[in-house]
Amino acid sequence: MITTFGARLSAAMDARGPLCVGVDPHPALLTAWGLTDDLTGLRRFAEICVEALADEVAMLKPQSAFFESHGSGGIAVLEQLIADARARGTLVLVDAKRGDIGSTMTAYAKAYLTEGSALAGDAVTLSPYLGFDSLAPAFEAASASGRGVFVLARTSNPEGSSVQDAVASKADGERSVAQGMVDAAAQLNVGAPRLGAVGLVVGGNLPTLNLDLSGLNGPILAPGFGAQGGTVADLRRLFGPNLEGVLPTSSRDVLRHGPDAEALRAAVRELRARLTEPAA
Protein backbone atom coordinates (compact mmCIF):
# COMPACT_ATOMS: atom_id res chain seq x y z
CA MET A 1 0.00 0.00 0.00
CA ILE A 2 1.44 3.39 -1.02
CA THR A 3 2.15 5.88 1.75
CA THR A 4 0.82 9.23 0.60
CA PHE A 5 3.02 12.25 0.13
CA GLY A 6 0.97 14.16 2.70
CA ALA A 7 1.59 11.47 5.30
CA ARG A 8 5.33 11.38 4.59
CA LEU A 9 5.58 15.17 4.71
CA SER A 10 3.63 15.37 7.97
CA ALA A 11 5.93 12.78 9.55
CA ALA A 12 9.04 14.59 8.30
CA MET A 13 7.84 17.95 9.65
CA ASP A 14 7.00 16.38 13.01
CA ALA A 15 10.43 14.75 13.23
CA ARG A 16 12.67 17.48 11.79
CA GLY A 17 10.66 20.67 12.03
CA PRO A 18 8.93 22.78 9.37
CA LEU A 19 11.79 23.81 7.12
CA CYS A 20 12.67 23.25 3.48
CA VAL A 21 16.13 24.25 2.26
CA GLY A 22 16.66 25.16 -1.36
CA VAL A 23 19.69 23.77 -3.15
CA ASP A 24 20.51 26.59 -5.56
CA PRO A 25 24.02 26.28 -7.05
CA HIS A 26 24.11 29.60 -8.85
CA PRO A 27 27.54 30.70 -10.13
CA ALA A 28 28.17 33.34 -7.44
CA LEU A 29 27.52 30.80 -4.70
CA LEU A 30 29.81 28.22 -6.26
CA THR A 31 32.53 30.87 -6.34
CA ALA A 32 31.86 31.87 -2.73
CA TRP A 33 32.29 28.23 -1.73
CA GLY A 34 35.62 28.08 -3.53
CA LEU A 35 34.19 25.81 -6.23
CA THR A 36 34.44 26.05 -9.99
CA ASP A 37 31.38 26.90 -12.07
CA ASP A 38 31.46 23.62 -13.96
CA LEU A 39 30.39 20.02 -13.46
CA THR A 40 33.15 19.36 -10.94
CA GLY A 41 32.06 22.28 -8.75
CA LEU A 42 28.38 21.47 -9.22
CA ARG A 43 28.88 17.86 -8.18
CA ARG A 44 30.84 18.82 -5.06
CA PHE A 45 28.23 21.43 -4.13
CA ALA A 46 25.46 18.84 -4.33
CA GLU A 47 27.47 16.34 -2.29
CA ILE A 48 28.12 18.89 0.47
CA CYS A 49 24.45 19.89 0.65
CA VAL A 50 23.29 16.31 1.00
CA GLU A 51 26.01 15.45 3.51
CA ALA A 52 25.33 18.50 5.68
CA LEU A 53 21.55 18.87 5.43
CA ALA A 54 19.87 15.58 4.56
CA ASP A 55 19.53 14.52 8.18
CA GLU A 56 18.49 17.96 9.40
CA VAL A 57 15.53 19.15 7.32
CA ALA A 58 12.10 17.88 6.36
CA MET A 59 12.73 18.53 2.68
CA LEU A 60 15.42 19.61 0.24
CA LYS A 61 14.42 21.64 -2.82
CA PRO A 62 16.95 21.52 -5.66
CA GLN A 63 16.33 24.29 -8.20
CA SER A 64 16.37 22.40 -11.48
CA ALA A 65 17.39 25.38 -13.64
CA PHE A 66 20.82 25.68 -12.04
CA PHE A 67 21.52 22.04 -12.87
CA GLU A 68 20.00 22.24 -16.36
CA SER A 69 22.29 25.17 -17.20
CA HIS A 70 25.20 22.71 -17.14
CA GLY A 71 23.59 20.50 -19.79
CA SER A 72 23.16 16.75 -19.62
CA GLY A 73 25.97 16.43 -17.07
CA GLY A 74 24.20 18.87 -14.77
CA ILE A 75 20.96 16.92 -15.03
CA ALA A 76 22.92 13.79 -14.09
CA VAL A 77 24.16 15.61 -10.97
CA LEU A 78 20.56 16.50 -10.11
CA GLU A 79 19.50 12.87 -10.54
CA GLN A 80 22.29 11.76 -8.19
CA LEU A 81 21.33 14.41 -5.62
CA ILE A 82 17.72 13.20 -5.68
CA ALA A 83 18.81 9.58 -5.20
CA ASP A 84 21.31 10.37 -2.44
CA ALA A 85 18.95 12.58 -0.44
CA ARG A 86 16.07 10.13 -0.65
CA ALA A 87 18.40 7.30 0.39
CA ARG A 88 19.06 9.32 3.56
CA GLY A 89 15.32 9.52 4.26
CA THR A 90 14.91 13.15 3.21
CA LEU A 91 12.01 14.28 1.06
CA VAL A 92 13.01 15.97 -2.20
CA LEU A 93 10.96 18.64 -3.94
CA VAL A 94 12.23 19.17 -7.49
CA ASP A 95 11.70 22.86 -8.17
CA ALA A 96 11.06 22.71 -11.90
CA LYS A 97 7.84 24.80 -12.18
CA ARG A 98 6.59 22.75 -15.12
CA GLY A 99 3.30 23.51 -16.80
CA ASP A 100 1.97 22.70 -20.25
CA ILE A 101 -0.92 20.98 -22.01
CA GLY A 102 -1.84 17.56 -23.33
CA SER A 103 0.89 15.12 -24.24
CA THR A 104 3.62 17.56 -23.18
CA MET A 105 2.23 17.78 -19.65
CA THR A 106 1.91 14.00 -19.63
CA ALA A 107 5.62 13.76 -20.49
CA TYR A 108 6.53 16.15 -17.68
CA ALA A 109 4.42 14.07 -15.29
CA LYS A 110 6.26 10.93 -16.38
CA ALA A 111 9.63 12.60 -15.82
CA TYR A 112 8.97 14.07 -12.36
CA LEU A 113 6.22 11.96 -10.79
CA THR A 114 6.53 8.40 -12.07
CA GLU A 115 8.23 5.61 -10.15
CA GLY A 116 11.48 4.63 -11.81
CA SER A 117 12.27 8.01 -13.31
CA ALA A 118 15.65 9.34 -12.18
CA LEU A 119 14.19 12.88 -11.99
CA ALA A 120 11.29 11.88 -9.74
CA GLY A 121 11.75 13.08 -6.18
CA ASP A 122 8.87 13.14 -3.74
CA ALA A 123 7.17 16.17 -5.28
CA VAL A 124 7.52 18.78 -8.02
CA THR A 125 6.52 22.42 -8.39
CA LEU A 126 3.99 23.19 -11.14
CA SER A 127 2.81 26.36 -12.87
CA PRO A 128 -0.98 26.41 -13.49
CA TYR A 129 -1.10 29.49 -15.67
CA LEU A 130 -2.10 27.59 -18.80
CA GLY A 131 -5.16 26.65 -16.77
CA PHE A 132 -5.34 24.59 -13.59
CA ASP A 133 -6.97 21.66 -15.37
CA SER A 134 -4.08 21.46 -17.84
CA LEU A 135 -2.09 19.93 -14.94
CA ALA A 136 -4.42 16.91 -14.71
CA PRO A 137 -1.77 14.42 -15.97
CA ALA A 138 0.51 15.49 -13.12
CA PHE A 139 -2.24 15.12 -10.51
CA GLU A 140 -3.01 11.64 -11.83
CA ALA A 141 0.64 10.57 -11.87
CA ALA A 142 1.21 11.92 -8.36
CA SER A 143 -1.81 10.06 -7.02
CA ALA A 144 -0.71 6.80 -8.65
CA SER A 145 2.85 6.96 -7.27
CA GLY A 146 2.20 8.51 -3.85
CA ARG A 147 3.95 11.74 -4.74
CA GLY A 148 2.94 15.37 -4.32
CA VAL A 149 2.78 18.62 -6.24
CA PHE A 150 3.08 22.26 -5.23
CA VAL A 151 1.08 24.54 -7.51
CA LEU A 152 2.03 28.20 -7.82
CA ALA A 153 -0.74 30.35 -6.33
CA ARG A 154 0.55 33.66 -4.92
CA THR A 155 4.29 33.78 -5.30
CA SER A 156 6.91 35.77 -3.40
CA ASN A 157 8.10 37.90 -6.35
CA PRO A 158 6.46 41.33 -6.70
CA GLU A 159 5.87 40.85 -10.43
CA GLY A 160 3.46 38.00 -9.71
CA SER A 161 0.73 40.26 -8.38
CA SER A 162 -0.18 41.64 -11.81
CA VAL A 163 -1.49 38.22 -12.83
CA GLN A 164 -2.17 36.41 -9.58
CA ASP A 165 -4.13 39.20 -7.87
CA ALA A 166 -6.20 39.97 -10.98
CA VAL A 167 -9.92 39.53 -10.38
CA ALA A 168 -12.25 37.89 -12.88
CA SER A 169 -16.02 37.90 -12.66
CA LYS A 170 -17.38 34.45 -11.92
CA ALA A 171 -20.90 33.09 -11.65
CA ASP A 172 -20.26 32.44 -7.96
CA GLY A 173 -18.82 35.91 -7.33
CA GLU A 174 -15.55 37.67 -7.94
CA ARG A 175 -12.29 36.06 -6.89
CA SER A 176 -8.66 36.54 -7.75
CA VAL A 177 -6.81 34.26 -10.13
CA ALA A 178 -4.75 33.02 -7.16
CA GLN A 179 -7.89 32.24 -5.15
CA GLY A 180 -9.13 30.21 -8.09
CA MET A 181 -5.97 28.10 -7.86
CA VAL A 182 -6.48 27.67 -4.12
CA ASP A 183 -10.07 26.56 -4.58
CA ALA A 184 -9.17 24.11 -7.34
CA ALA A 185 -6.40 22.56 -5.22
CA ALA A 186 -8.76 22.26 -2.26
CA GLN A 187 -11.20 20.24 -4.37
CA LEU A 188 -8.47 17.69 -5.11
CA ASN A 189 -7.62 17.36 -1.41
CA VAL A 190 -11.17 16.68 -0.20
CA GLY A 191 -11.18 13.63 2.06
CA ALA A 192 -7.41 13.41 2.45
CA PRO A 193 -6.22 12.83 6.03
CA ARG A 194 -4.36 15.81 7.54
CA LEU A 195 -2.50 16.92 4.39
CA GLY A 196 -3.51 16.20 0.82
CA ALA A 197 -0.99 15.70 -1.96
CA VAL A 198 -1.79 18.96 -3.75
CA GLY A 199 0.07 21.80 -2.08
CA LEU A 200 0.39 25.45 -2.96
CA VAL A 201 3.25 27.92 -3.26
CA VAL A 202 2.34 31.08 -1.34
CA GLY A 203 4.98 33.69 -0.55
CA GLY A 204 6.04 34.10 3.05
CA ASN A 205 6.98 37.74 2.50
CA LEU A 206 3.69 39.10 1.13
CA PRO A 207 2.40 42.37 2.57
CA THR A 208 -1.10 40.86 2.77
CA LEU A 209 -2.40 37.38 2.04
CA ASN A 210 -5.75 38.14 0.38
CA LEU A 211 -6.44 34.42 0.11
CA ASP A 212 -8.79 32.07 1.92
CA LEU A 213 -6.72 28.96 2.63
CA SER A 214 -9.06 27.49 5.22
CA GLY A 215 -10.35 24.72 2.98
CA LEU A 216 -7.07 23.70 1.36
CA ASN A 217 -6.27 20.61 3.47
CA GLY A 218 -2.84 20.54 1.86
CA PRO A 219 0.70 21.79 2.49
CA ILE A 220 1.86 25.33 1.79
CA LEU A 221 5.38 25.98 0.57
CA ALA A 222 6.33 29.49 1.68
CA PRO A 223 9.28 31.00 -0.24
CA GLY A 224 10.47 34.52 0.50
CA PHE A 225 11.52 33.59 4.04
CA GLY A 226 14.95 34.93 4.92
CA ALA A 227 16.96 36.63 2.19
CA GLN A 228 13.82 37.91 0.44
CA GLY A 229 12.74 39.67 3.61
CA GLY A 230 10.17 37.32 5.13
CA THR A 231 10.41 36.76 8.89
CA VAL A 232 8.85 34.32 11.35
CA ALA A 233 6.51 37.13 12.38
CA ASP A 234 5.45 37.53 8.73
CA LEU A 235 4.75 33.81 8.42
CA ARG A 236 2.55 33.86 11.51
CA ARG A 237 0.77 37.01 10.35
CA LEU A 238 -0.02 35.42 7.00
CA PHE A 239 -0.68 31.80 7.94
CA GLY A 240 -1.63 31.83 11.61
CA PRO A 241 0.39 31.49 14.82
CA ASN A 242 0.82 27.72 14.65
CA LEU A 243 1.92 27.56 10.98
CA GLU A 244 -0.09 24.37 10.54
CA GLY A 245 0.90 22.68 7.27
CA VAL A 246 3.25 25.54 6.33
CA LEU A 247 6.75 24.70 5.11
CA PRO A 248 8.93 27.84 4.90
CA THR A 249 11.76 27.53 2.43
CA SER A 250 15.15 29.19 2.73
CA SER A 251 18.08 29.00 0.37
CA ARG A 252 20.56 31.87 0.62
CA ASP A 253 20.19 32.34 4.38
CA VAL A 254 21.40 28.77 4.88
CA LEU A 255 23.76 28.28 1.94
CA ARG A 256 25.80 31.41 2.66
CA HIS A 257 27.26 29.48 5.63
CA GLY A 258 28.85 26.84 3.36
CA PRO A 259 30.88 25.03 2.39
CA ASP A 260 31.55 24.06 6.00
CA ALA A 261 29.08 21.26 6.80
CA GLU A 262 28.81 22.04 10.50
CA ALA A 263 28.16 25.71 9.81
CA LEU A 264 25.36 24.72 7.42
CA ARG A 265 23.85 22.47 10.07
CA ALA A 266 24.09 25.20 12.68
CA ALA A 267 22.27 27.63 10.39
CA VAL A 268 19.45 25.12 9.87
CA ARG A 269 19.14 24.45 13.59
CA GLU A 270 18.93 28.17 14.34
CA LEU A 271 16.18 28.67 11.76
CA ARG A 272 14.32 25.62 12.99
CA ALA A 273 14.43 26.90 16.57
CA ARG A 274 12.91 30.22 15.50
CA LEU A 275 10.16 28.51 13.52
CA THR A 276 9.18 26.15 16.34
CA GLU A 277 9.38 28.67 19.17
CA PRO A 278 5.86 29.09 20.63
CA ALA A 279 4.06 32.17 19.40
CA ALA A 280 3.94 35.03 21.90
Contacts of 279 (CB under 8 A, 6+ apart): 236, 241, 242
- Rounded to 5 degrees, φ, ψ at 201 are -100, 115
Which residues are known to be catalytic? 97
Q: Distances in Å between the alpha carbon of 61 and those of 5, 57, 66, 94?
A: 15, 11, 12, 6
Instruction: Please answer whether residues 192 and 217 qualify as being in contact, where contact means their C-beta atoms are separated by less than 8 angstroms.
Output: yes
Instruction: Please answer whether residues 193 and 251 qualify as being in contact, where contact means their C-beta atoms are separated by less than 8 angstroms.
Output: no
Distance (Å, whole) CA 203 – CA 188: 21
Dihedral angle sign, alpha carbons of residues 82, 79, 21, 219: negative
Distance (Å, whole) CA 148 – CA 123: 4
